[in-house]
Amino acid sequence: NLCITAAYRPVRELIQQERNKEMEKKKKEAESVSSDDASNNNDNEEREITLRSLNMEDMKQAKNQVAASFASEGSVMAELKQWNELYGEGGSRKKQQLTYFL
């Protein structure tokens, strides 16, 4: 979900730019009739769509938008924390020095 959200960000920006261009075009058409001829010429041109590449800012924004997969207070997380305390790096699995070697 995180990567998909980040990947859609440049697409959303492109769509927003297209909307802004259409709004400007409508304003120009409302102002004068001569702009209709110019806009018809622009519509005949082929548009090349270029999306920018993803960057770290896209990932940061996506992280803020995407919710966690599961609640940190849930039973699964409690079991993971318990397992980590028992067998993790700081748990009881840690090697204890034997006193008879001292």
Name the stretches of the chain with pLDDT < 50.
Answer: 35-36, 38-39, 44
Q: Which domain holds residue 96?
A: 69-102
3 and 49 together in one domain = yes
DSSP at 49: P
For 58, other C-beta atoms within 10 Å of its C-beta total 19
4 and 22 together in one domain = yes
Q: How many structural domains is the chain composed of?
A: 2
pLDDT at 32: 67
Residue for token pair 């979900």: 1
pLDDT at 83: 86
77 and 56 together in one domain = no
